[in-house]
Chains A and B, each alone.
Chain A
Amino acid sequence: MSAFEEFDQERRAIDTLLEQGYQVIRIAEDLDGARVTFTHGGPGQSPVELLLLTADARKHVTTVVFAGRKPAAPIETVI
């Protein structure tokens, strides 16, 4: 898998959760990557954790939180 595909898989996982209404509540970084915890306000929904390995996905998730919003469109890296 190319580096981009690895990132793209992780980005999709993040964006899917965000589109479902999940929010990032915690990011714990260690030697193995970033463990990102998402929660959903809805009843009966338990937190979800993603382990992000790629640098670009770790950047993406913090950019989303930093911008205070879900991205309007996926990050366009190819033109």
Chain B
Amino acid sequence: MADLSIDLAGIKSPNPFWLASAPPTNTGYQVQRAFEAGWGGAVWKTLGEPVINTSSRFAAVHFNGQRVAGFNNIELITDRPLEVNLKEIYETKKRFPNHAIIASLMVEPKQEKWHEIVKRVEAVGVDGLELNFGCPHGMAERGMGAASGQQPDLVQAQTTWVKEVATTPVIVKLTPNITDITVVARHAVKGGADAISLINTINSLAGVDIHSWNTIPNVGGQGAHGGYCGPAVKPIALSMVAECARDRGVGVPISGIGGISTWQDVVEFMLMGSTGIQVCTAVMHHGFRIVEEMIDGLNNYLDDKGLASVTELIGKSVPKYSNWGDLDLNYKVVARINEDNCINCNKCHIACEDASHQCIDMLTNSDGKAILQVREEDCVGCNLCSIVCPADGAIDMVALDSGVAPMTWNQRNQVISGLNGSYSEAEVV
């Protein structure tokens, strides 16, 4: 059995599975039950000046029978006084000394406010701090959360203030509601962040009720934008993690968050540079015990791969994530249909005919059977047919060895500019 323990910027945890700061980490009762179930760490529901939440807070997007493909909330930070939370953190840490407890914090962007809260939470024995610069609603209107997280200089300044007094590692939690998340990540690092975590929720409106014309959710007929999370956001989160992981100006450990619900998701986030991960929606949907399957799955995977420690996964796929301009233009894949597995639904033909390059022919074979065949010379290898195909193994995307040397877009442009004696087009990154 592999070693699942991690050390994220000095925060030690028996495994990489942490609960994200959210309703499942609202109380000591919940966090202790989560640790009993197997979670290795918990980022406490964000502490700050207690707020008053609205009633009717959550909504979900169900897609084609899959419940909670995406989750939306208009909840704010903790609504309980700081002292109550601190007492429960202290008790929880005492019961679970080897588990990681991180205090998520959000206060007004003022030095004295940060100093005060950092000192008070560190006094009860937290293992680290997470600065919530990500909450997209409610707090942002008061100049906190995403409002300060969208201003790189403010992120840097607030991180600096925290580091002036913090004795435990400081994680800066980033908002995805920004054009280039690496800019803020770099400023967090300039401010002294020991690690970053991402992503917080994405600005969203879950829907509009077409009968009442009310927003979903609504508070007595009025709605406001919320934060989106859950499986639907995973690709967005993963790309942001990858961008930060490959940015040399960032260079600090990453706690990956966003749409994680299975051990496979965890492996993907770690391969893309996360030292550990955090989960919210999947726990809200299925409860703490999903971690049992995650632990088993990860253990078996590591054993199958012959890896002794989960840390061996960290960042292994990062070098494989580069710029479009550095991809080989001479690499070629084509679709190949396997008649044995094809159920003749024709979806691939329709997709290629209507949305790609019209190269899947509907033919009749020598036995009079209807078959589909790809004209490989016209196939551009877009993958669409294999994406829409409902039958496992009916379409393979096959790499062809063209015998041609690799050449990227950037190399191609160098060739052209070399020939023409001047640069013709900008480099593509």
Contact = CB atoms under 8 A, between A and B. Distances in A.
Given A62-B415, A76-B402, A76-B403, A28 B376 contact: no
Interface stretch (B39-47, B78-86, B405-413): B405-413
Contacts of A27: 415-416, 419-420, 424
Given A26-B419, A59-B330, A65-B419, A75 B377 contact: no
Given A28-B420, A65-B419, A3 B405 contact: no
Contact of B378 (A4, A65, A66): A4
Given A26-B420, A59-B329, A65-B419, A71 B376 contact: no
A4 to B, nearest CB: 4
A36 to B, nearest CB: 9
Report the contact-size class of chain A (Cβ under 8 Å from the partner).
20 to 34
B404 A63 contact: yes
Contact of B407 (A25, A62, A73): A62
B329 to A, nearest CB: 5
A29 B416 contact: yes
A71 B424 contact: no
Contacts of B357: 3
Contact of A75 (B404, B416, B425): B404
Interface centre among B330, B332, B404, B407, by most chain A C-beta atoms within 10 angstroms, is: B404
Interface string B304-326: 00000000000000000000000
Given A3-B359, A59-B407, 17 more contacts: A2-B359, A2-B375, A4-B377, A4-B378, A24-B419, A26-B419, A28-B420, A28-B424, A62-B415, A63-B407, A65-B419, A66-B411, A67-B404, A75-B402, A76-B402, A78-B377, A79-B376
Interface of B: 329-330, 332, 357, 359, 375-378, 400, 402-405, 407, 411-412, 415-416, 419-420, 424-425
Interface of A: 2-4, 24-29, 59, 62-63, 65-67, 71-73, 75-79
18 contacts: A2-B375, A2-B377, A2-B378, A27-B420, A28-B420, A29-B416, A29-B424, A29-B425, A62-B407, A62-B415, A63-B329, A63-B404, A63-B412, A67-B405, A75-B404, A77-B332, A77-B376, A79-B400
